[in-house]
Amino acid sequence: MSWEYQPTILLPPEEPQVEVTLRVGQGTGTGQTVCRVFPCELGRDAGCAVLVQDRWASRRHARLDWDGGLTVTDLGSTNGTRVNGARISGPCPLRTGDVLTLGRTQVTVERIEAGHGAPPRQGTVPLL
């Protein structure tokens, strides 16, 4: 009887599935939007994931990033980005309930859901 050793390894888990729900209000284009792909840009430009229809907002105003937590960064906008009323000068962590101000538009972080995909997968490594 022949026996061949096949070690079992755990492969890394899939990338986390992140969903951020934003409420865009106090301006035209009021409504809810969900970001699932990061970085996620906010601004007047049609290429932004979150469209802010406010003449006081820049075309590419701010960016949301995910690296184990949600952050916002101002992209050099003319009027700046505020979090809970305070102007930011670099990446700023965000939590549920925080309010961003872009121009005259307020964007509320309604929900941050960060789940993981499938648990670690088992696999085998073939012997050469």
CB atoms within 10 A of CB 49: 18
Closest CA to 99 of 19, 32, 18, 24: 24
pTM for the whole thing? Answer: 0.75
Structural contact between residues 83 and 94, judged by C-beta atoms closer than 8 angstroms: yes
- 128 Cβ contact list (under 8 Å, min separation 6): none
pLDDT digit string (tens) for the chain, length 128 residues: 566 766 666 655 555 688 899 988 855 556 888 888 899 999 999 999 999 989 999 999 999 999 889 999 999 999 999 999 999 999 999 999 999 999 999 999 998 888 755 444 444 444 44
